[in-house]
Amino acid sequence: MIDLKQANQALETDLHRKDATQIVVWAQATFGTGLIMSTSFGIQSAVMLHLVTQVVPKIPVVWVDTGYLPVETYQFADALTQRLQLNLQVYQSPISPARMEALYGNLWASQEVEAFNKYDYMRKVEPMQRALRELGATAWLAGLRADQTVHRQTLDVVTQQRDIYKISPILNWHARDIYQYLQAYDLPYHPLFEKGYVSVGDWHSSRPLMADDESDRDTRFRGMKQECGLHLPQTPGEAESLDSSFL
């Protein structure tokens, strides 16, 4: 067990790029082989993948493949995996897309948040829970940023999600920091960035940014919710208040 308050105070800085690397170094020294990272191969995923693997080259990289990702995401994932020599661990739902649709219909097309939550639990949350168990994870590096959702604005760099510690090295980065890092290391955005996407998940629940969108996350889940459930905490009540399933 670690003291969360003490850990966050020790890591409390202006959190520029150099500090993000120091946070990864601290995480590796603290958690050792229990440290994993996750990726969605989203718009800016190259940043975290590069940042972390410069410090921990063989870290298990968990990718939850829902079976509904855009073609461009699969191609982007393949290219980054080869370029960065990722130790990629792919997890999927035991329920195939065809079976899920036969039993429950197109859950993502529903106007009910509960249907989205059911979809997210089957295709994302359960596979991630299984990955954490099978890999023996005690800590999880994630590319969360405070400016992405209301919930993420409340986070510290180090948090605890049930029995797993969550470390967010780029929590206080902004779009400019992301751009500068990508430029410095000649890393790519996701291909759909050039088509106006600022956030991308499944093909049926992502769209380009529109002029009247209030935030990047309005382009996901038809604006009905902000989180898929992978990065929500601690109690069912908190999760329910954010209209999402929880991990």
Give the active site residues.
Answer: 228
Give the span between the Cα atoms of 165 and 175, in whole angstroms.
Answer: 25
> Residue 51's closest CA among 15, 18, 81, 78?
18
Give the span between the Cα atoms of 11 and 9, in whole angstroms.
Answer: 5
Give the span between the Cα atoms of 228 and 244, in whole angstroms.
Answer: 6
The token pair that represents 93 in the structure block? 């739902």
Are 199 and 205 in contact by the 8 Å Cβ rule? The answer is: no
How many CB atoms lie under 10 A from the CB of residue 55?
18
